[in-house]
Structure 1
Amino acid sequence: MQKPRYLAWLIASLLSVCYGLFHLHFLQRALDHDQVVYLVNMLVFRPERPFFNPHHLAFESSGYWFIGVVRDLLPAPFSSDVTFILRLRSLLIACFGLFCACMYVERLTGRLRWAVVISIGLGLLHGTLYHATKIDTGIFPLAWCFPMLWAGQAVRRARTRRRLLFQSVWAGLIFFVGILLHQYLSLLATAIALALLLPLPGLRSSMHGSPVWRWPAVALMTAVTILPTAGAYYYAGHINYRLRFDKPDPGAAVGVWRHRTFQEWLFAYQVDGHWGKGFSEFRPEANVRGIVDVFVSQRRLRPKYGENYTFEFELARPFALEPLAFNAVAYFFLGTLTLLLLEFPRLVRRLDADLFALVFGILFLGALGAYFEPFYFEFWLVPVSMFFLLGGLLLATLLDRWSGWMADSAHSLAAALFLALAFFWGAHNLRYYLDSYSRLILLEGMAEWEPEYYERFQSRAIYRNPVDPRAHAGP
């Protein structure tokens, strides 16, 4: 692993702090069904009988402890506003993810300007803005995918046996935490491990390229990931809920999962029947809807993020102002795929296992998004954000074929154009999503609860534009 670049650490830290302050100004007040359910799960959580959702094993438990710690640190009215505390938790993990993304790109390209530009672009994507202060699970796998990629990169670059051992153990622990944050990050861990096993040219000068060292390193990393993960799920499902492996035992089991076996609990979302119809009921427009919503907000006052297949592309008018944000998504995808296909051999020589970790991760997690819930962008958030990062990496890497002043000028111009695209999407998302949702407290899907039920979790004193919760103040 390269020696720390202190300027990169400083810039990445400042970028994360600025992103946090930006979101604290435009702090969303919107609540929906899932947010209230998660909030209540954390409030009724009890250490003597904890609640564990297998899809995101540590989400509710870590939220419960976070509320307890932060309540003692914050003054009123912040300490009494549970939604603010949990939104702050999401924002902190989002800022950490942005920091890791910046450091990962800087180590990969050696160019700090590209690290900053790509990280800003990631932060301004609609999916990131939407989940960064939401009481939901979406931001946690997105933020944690970057330390996972960074950890895999550190394993690849290990120059000594001792360093290789340390980085393998450290990467395994990071993968373990990621899987506890969200079950499907196991696919990204698999992608990184497979990329490290490939007999690529760059591995000859690192990781002791010989299989004698490379395979044991990946095996150690895998063991450090799997063993504590299996232990955590065994404790949560078998010891805590008393679920049997052979058949359901509602009399002996406890909790909401008592009518299931351990295996049915472990894969509860996959066997539930409500999700996982993306292949059997395949609709291309559903996947397009989910992917596009990661980039840009729909242009509606209260958009329905679900089975809404009204698109705003107008490719016949490529530079018309109204559809330009949506057209730019199509151009970005086509341009990135074209570069990837045409320059793949050169990219392999330059990016080595990091390229395959990204590509495998995008494919594995993209397949899960297409299978699980293709029309909603939460499951597209990680693979599409990684694709956006890959697009910036491809451009930065291909410009390295030039040298001297021409290379520096080309990098500066390309980075400026990439940043302009990010700010253009960010301005669109600020107008149609972030500003309006920082004024809105009530969303559709709350009809089964009286406003007094969820209003008691919030203090209007700490939000901008406090309005009547039953009214909507547009941007």
Structure 2
Amino acid sequence: MKKLFIILLLLGLFLFHLRYLSRAFDWDSCVYALNIQKDRIESAFFNPHHLGFESSGLLYWKMIRSIYPTTDIMFFLRLRILTFSLFFLGVFIWIYYKLYKDFFLAVVLAMVIQVSQAFWFYSLHNDTPLIHSCLMALLFLFTIYFLRKGLNQKHIAILWLIQLFSIYFHQSNVIHFGMVPMAIFLSPNRSLGKKLRIIFIYLTCLGAATILSYLFVGFIILKRGLGPIDEKHFSFWMFLYAAINRWGTSLGEDKNYVLYFYRGIGDAFLVFQNVIPKLRVNLFDFQNPKHLPYNLNLLFWIFSLSLGILNFRTMWTKFKPEILIMFFWLVPSIGFYTWWEGYFFEFWVGTIIGLWILNSYILSSFQIKVLPKFSNAILHMSYSFLFIFYFLTNFTFSTLPRSIGPKFGYTEGIQGPVEKLAEESIYR
């Protein structure tokens, strides 16, 4: 019955999202679609920071056209992202339930993740953040699940594949190399020496596979060289997004990392406005509709994380493996993305998934053993309220407006091709 419920829930979510599928067009989503539309393997590997995104998209687009001849590429690419997000939610519900034996909590927590702004927006948008973020969350969940099962060689091989593909879908996921090694270190029935050997082999194989993949794509597929330092040089392709001043580590600007962090992660929970890093919280004008949702969101997380600090001993006793492995997920994410381009909410999709899972550990640590049903009811009601709050806010001010007619963001230099992409016959 539980599996049937999950299937019906995902079907309902699919139909709902299909009705309100994003019609937003921006530079990234259009360039990725155009790279796939060119139907050339060179274009599918043009972006070095996500080898798997356009290349798998090209295979998917070929499959779609072999089944149903169409030119509505953006629609079907959005459908691809939506399908993966729903697949993730289904797996999340099942694994979380298997781990913590609370099916209702698993469902409502998955729904809270779903209606958080960054996850919801990128579930309906042809862009890179969602797939690799979901892969990192699946890596965490399966790591915990397999650790409880004993973490045998088959489990480690599965985790290795998930982590490798997470790197293929976004280069930055190399920063999370410590998650599985920590699980290996925590695994029972192994000596310290054997654990260290397994960790060494795991990381060596992961590093070798990643490096060889980039060398193969760069030198063999794209025919890059090691001659003059120009656009044909391998290093220029490999570090494209660091080599162009427009992105990430660009020089000549003052960076307020605290403000960047708050703005990016704040937008990841609630409706984003634009890339201008400014605070929308105003506790001195608390009830003003312009500030109220952001005030409530900030206070909730301050209150929640404070509870976690106060009750850390209980959390540590109950969720020690989870906390240790999550440390290697969330801390590198927060540090790196704040430094890179913290004000863009796309970089915080995976982080908010991790924070919601952490939040569930915090609130679950306050459960009263002599009153388990009462404790569960409080927990379920809390997340149900959070679901309603985030759903109403983000649907009203983000999802609904972006589902009505084409919405054009930054498309400088590709206006013509973008207008053609926007003329999708399937919407007529």
TM-score scaled to structure 1, two decimals? 0.82
Partners of 2:96 and 2:289 in 1: CA distance: 32
1:41-120 to structure 2, matched below 5 A, reads 41-47=35-41, 51-74=45-68, 79-120=70-111
Report deviation, 1:391: 0.8
Q: Does residue 257 of structure 2 align to residue 292 of structure 1?
A: no
Distance 2:228 2:188 in 1: 46
Paired residue secondary structure (1:184) = helix
Is the 8 Å Cα contact of residues 36 and 43 (structure 2) preserved in structure 1?
Answer: no
Matched, 1:237 2:218: yes
Matched letter for residue 403 of structure 1: K
Partners of 2:208 and 2:97 lie apart in 1 by 32
- Equivalent residue number for residue 180 of structure 2: 193
* In structure 1, distance between residues paired with 2:12 and 2:190: 40
How far off its partner does 1:449 sit?
4.5
CA-based RMSD of the aligned residues comes to: 2.6
**Post-superposition shift, 1:312?**
3.0
Aligned residue identity for 1:43: Q
Alignment partner of 1:270 out of 242, 260, 276: 242
Percent identity among equivalent residues?
Answer: 22
**Contact map agreement 2:286 2:295 (CA 8 A) in 1:** yes
Asked if 1:340 corresponds to 2:308, the answer is: yes
Please give the residue correspondences for 1:34-433 in structure 2 after superposition, counting only pairs within 5 Å: 34-47=28-41, 51-74=45-68, 79-159=70-150, 164-188=152-176, 190-196=177-183, 203=186, 206-244=187-225, 247-248=227-228, 257-258=231-232, 260-262=233-235, 264-277=236-249, 281-283=254-256, 284-298=258-272, 303-304=273-274, 306-309=275-278, 311-316=279-284, 318=286, 322-399=290-367, 402-404=368-370, 406-433=371-398
- Structure 1 residues 276 and 321: alpha-carbon distance in aligned structure 2, compared to 1, 3 A threshold: closer
CA contact (8 A) 1:31 1:443 kept: yes
After TM superposition, the structure 1 stretch with the greater mean CA deviation from structure 2, 49-58 or 412-421, is 49-58
Q: Residue 471 of structure 1 corresponds to which residue in structure 2?
A: none
C-alpha distance 170-426 of structure 1, shift in aligned 2 (>3 A) = same
2: CA distance, partners of 1:348 / 1:266: 41
Aligned residue identity for 2:119: T
Q: Aligned partner of 1:28: which letter? A: S
Closer, same or farther: CA 48–421 of 1 in aligned 2, 3 Å: closer
Distance 1:319 1:360, change over 3 A: farther
Q: 1 CA distance for matches of 2:4 and 2:194?
A: 34
Q: Any conservation in 2 of the 1:312–1:323 contact (CA below 8 Å)?
A: yes
More off after superposition, 120-129 vs 147-156? 147-156
Q: Do the aligned residues in 2 keep the contact of 1:138 with 1:381 (CA within 8 Å)?
A: yes
Q: Do 1:168 and 1:217's aligned partners in 2 also have CA atoms closer than 8 Å? A: no
| Contact 2:315–2:361 under 8 Å retained in 1 | no
Q: Provide the C-alpha distance between the structure 1 equivalents of 2:170 and 2:322, rounded to a whole number of angstroms.
A: 22
The secondary structure found in structure 2 opposite 1:352 is: helix
Give, in angstroms, the shift of residue 43 of structure 1.
Answer: 1.2
Distance 1:460 1:41 in 2: 17
Task: Kindly indicate whether the alpha-carbon contact (under 8 Å) linking 1:26 and 1:434 is maintained by their aligned counterparts in 2.
Answer: yes
Aligned length: 426
Displacement, 1:226?
Answer: 2.6
Return the offset for 1:231. Answer: 2.2
- Quote the offset at 1:327 in angstroms: 1.5
In structure 2, relative to structure 1, the CA distance for the partners of 1:178 and 1:268 (3 Å cut) is same
Q: Which structure 1 residue ranges, 5 or more long, are not aligned? A: 1-5, 251-256, 467-475
Q: CA offsets per residue over residues 379-419 of structure 1, 9 Å max, x none?
A: 122213311221122212331xx224x21122122211222
Change over 3 Å in CA distance of 1:219–1:340 after alignment to 2: farther
| Amino acid aligned to 1:16 | L
After superposition, the Cα gap between the structure-2 partners of 1:227 and 1:36, relative to the gap in structure 1 and judged at 3 Å, is: same
TM-score using structure 2 length? 0.90
Cα 1:51–1:101, aligned 2, differ >3 Å: closer, same or farther?
Answer: same
Which residue of structure 1 aligns with residue 421 of structure 2?
457
How far apart are the structure 2 equivalents of 1:155 and 1:165?
10
CA gap of 1:274–1:90, structure 2 versus 1, over 3 A, is same
Which has more helix, going by share of residues? 2
Deviations 1:211-255 (A, max 9, x none): 24433443343344333222211111122233345x5466xxxxx
| Conserved? CA contact 2:24–2:408, under 8 Å | yes
- Deviation at residue 126 of structure 1 after TM alignment: 0.6
| Residues 82 and 457 in structure 1, CA contact (< 8 A), matched pair in contact too | yes
Q: How many Å separate the matches in 2 of 1:136 and 1:23?
A: 16
Structure 1 residue matching 2:18: 3-state secondary structure: helix
Greater RCO, 1 or 2 (C-alpha within 8 Å, sep 6+):
2
1:473 maps to what in 2? Answer: none
Q: Give SS of 1:243's match.
A: coil
Deviation string for 1:91-137 (max 9, x for gaps)? 11211222232234323322112211111000000111111121111
